[in-house]
A and B are shown apart, each in its own frame.
Chain A
């Protein structure tokens, strides 16, 4: 087997500059195991001293073959795998997958399920941003923020556990609504969280926003202008920090987002500090949405009544023959979907998360493609990293907020 360094060089001979081949610049491997790469990402840096001249991301160290594996399972079983894609946004992945199935099958979702989906997705967004803040500042050596954000995250995970039994990989959203209704303590727990959290965001901002070291390390690092961002397919807080107010919750509202009043934060600088401000404000706005959705939470069923797709409750099985037939069909074969293809997109904490679902009429998906935001957000990294020091590259990677499960699928 070739030596690792020779492999790297041969692969990239057509990409590195002349100076690297001559030996003036150094090729440094920021390998798959590194404390700051937020997962298994390999970066090949071409460096002139401490300054990064170019960087070549090498992904695929977490490629799980989820898309092919989902083709081998029925729709309901494949929903379990969707949690594990972007593993910080489990309910968001579930949501997009269920939205795609519901669009293709023209399945209705009752209003209580929609409002509950909004509440849980926004709580997931807050928890994802908390992990981002904790790990980003951990890389910048502001380690105390890590302890605080994970403490808040535990409150949200307790809510998820109360609702579905699992902290992270809940698979709580199913085609047609939710798996089952929330327990009585849910409302009280969410209200407690809404009461505590605004003060905590103020604490984080007090520690970081005016901190001269933080500003020094994040201002003017990785400036992205809006035209480049759109050309590179960047979405999410990275795009909003360049000034483009692109948020699918406002533009193309789904799950009843048009009922809730919230602001889409933008900033014009496009650097790391701007992305930090955008995400902090997004946490506040998410909390606002949770509050409004909780006030307006309607009563009613939490899953559609369409027995072709949704299994009947067990009590019906003793009285109705159709219920038994539907139950049998759904549990052995899975539900049959109409033929065709749809593309559905929603807003994940990282950007536009979309599912392209193609069905050929069988109970298993024919092709599921996940348009993940971190794929494009990482692709723009080499252009942003040119001319910065390695320490700045670390800050930049943190602010890009990619998740390798999203990229490699």
Chain B
């Protein structure tokens, strides 16, 4: 406490544990490769050269849920696919976050019918919703930055 008052923010020399862990988590959050439909193409465009998501720590997309932190549900989730989605979510180890990309994943989108799950928050808890049909890569990046801010605000109580 005294050092911080006298010398200002020394960066990593004196830092709270929560801040350190959250910083590490945001800077290397690897999404799971889970593109379902049209939003997946915009997610791929977001990973590509023009709107590079590697700048924000999403260097790789891991295909296996066991090695991924973030699940970006991009695309419409049907009732046939919903159990598979839940299984994948359960297979991801904590800490894990879910970003619902696009209108179909957030609320069912334009498809209000028998086949589409009206929003994946019926199946799993969601951290950030990104609107758009499909959302521009910049919108997805904004969603990821919002998620980073949320992660930076996490504290010990939410981990345990």
Residues of A within 8 A of B151 (CB): none
Known pairs A33-B88, A169-B133; A150 contacts B49 (CB<8 A): yes
Q: Of A39, A61, A81, which is within 8 A of B80 by CB?
A: A61
Known pairs A32-B81, A65-B113; A146 contacts B134 (CB<8 A): no
Binary flags per residue of B18-55, CB closer than 8 Å to A gives 1, else 0: 00000000000000011111101110110011100000
Closest chain A CB from B14 CB (angstroms):
41
Which size bracket describes the interface of B in this complex? 20 to 34
Per the 8 Å Cβ criterion, residues 170-185 of A in contact with B are: none
Binary flags per residue of A49-87, CB closer than 8 Å to B gives 1, else 0: 000000000001111111011000000000011001001
Contact B50 A87 (CB under 8 A): no
Contact A32 B84 (CB under 8 A): yes
Contact A40 B116 (CB under 8 A): no
For residue B114, CB closer than 8 A to chain A, the reply is yes
Contact A65 B38 (CB under 8 A): no
Q: Of A34, A146, A404, which is within 8 A of B37 by CB?
A: A404
Residues of B within 8 A of A68 (CB): 113-114
Q: Of B34, B40, B76, B88, which is within 8 A of A64 by CB?
A: B76
Closest chain B CB from A364 CB (angstroms):
15
Q: Of B37, B48, B80, which is within 8 A of A87 by CB?
A: B37
Residues of B within 8 A of A131 (CB): 41, 44
Q: Of B35, B48, B114, which is within 8 A of A65 by CB?
A: B114
Contact A65 B116 (CB under 8 A): yes
For residue B111, CB closer than 8 A to chain A, the reply is yes
For residue B146, CB closer than 8 A to chain A, the reply is no
Q: Identify the closest chain B residue to A161 (Cβ).
A: B136
Q: Of B49, B76, B110, B113, which is within 8 A of A62 by CB?
A: B76
Q: Identify the closest chain B residue to A135 (Cβ).
A: B44
Residues of A within 8 A of B136 (CB): 167
Q: Of A31, A66, A135, A153, which is within 8 A of B111 by CB?
A: A66
Known pairs A62-B76, A63-B80, A64-B78; A154 contacts B37 (CB<8 A): no
Q: Identify the closest chain A residue to B81 (Cβ).
A: A61
Contact B80 A60 (CB under 8 A): yes
Q: Identify the closest chain A residue to B109 (Cβ).
A: A84
Contact A33 B34 (CB under 8 A): yes
For residue B63, CB closer than 8 A to chain A, the reply is yes
Binary flags per residue of A135-165, CB closer than 8 Å to B gives 1, else 0: 1000000000011001101100100000000
Contact B37 A405 (CB under 8 A): yes
Residues of A within 8 A of B110 (CB): 80-81, 84
Complexed CA–CA distance, A314 and B158 (Å) = 56
Residues of A within 8 A of B33 (CB): 33, 35
Q: Of B44, B63, B76, B134, which is within 8 A of A169 by CB?
A: B134
Complexed CA–CA distance, A167 and B133 (Å) = 10
Known pairs A61-B84, A62-B78, A168-B42; A40 contacts B63 (CB<8 A): no
Complexed CA–CA distance, A84 and B116 (Å) = 14
Q: Identify the closest chain A residue to B65 (Cβ).
A: A33
Complexed CA–CA distance, A7 and B139 (Å) = 40
Complexed CA–CA distance, A220 and B56 (Å) = 42
Per the 8 Å Cβ criterion, residues 85-100 of A in contact with B are: 87-88
Residues of A within 8 A of B113 (CB): 64-65, 68-69
Contact A168 B38 (CB under 8 A): yes
Per the 8 Å Cβ criterion, residues 62-112 of B in contact with A are: 63, 75-76, 78, 80-81, 84, 88, 110-112
Residues of B within 8 A of A64 (CB): 76, 78, 111, 113, 115-116
User: Which residues of B are at the interface with A, using a C-beta cutoff of 8 A?
Assistant: 33-38, 40-42, 44-45, 48-50, 63, 75-76, 78, 80-81, 84, 88, 110-116, 133-134, 136
Q: List 28 A-B contacts (CB under 8 A).
A: A32-B81, A33-B34, A39-B37, A39-B40, A40-B81, A60-B80, A62-B37, A62-B75, A62-B81, A63-B115, A64-B115, A64-B116, A65-B111, A65-B115, A81-B111, A84-B38, A87-B37, A87-B38, A87-B41, A131-B41, A134-B44, A150-B48, A150-B50, A151-B49, A167-B42, A167-B134, A167-B136, A405-B37
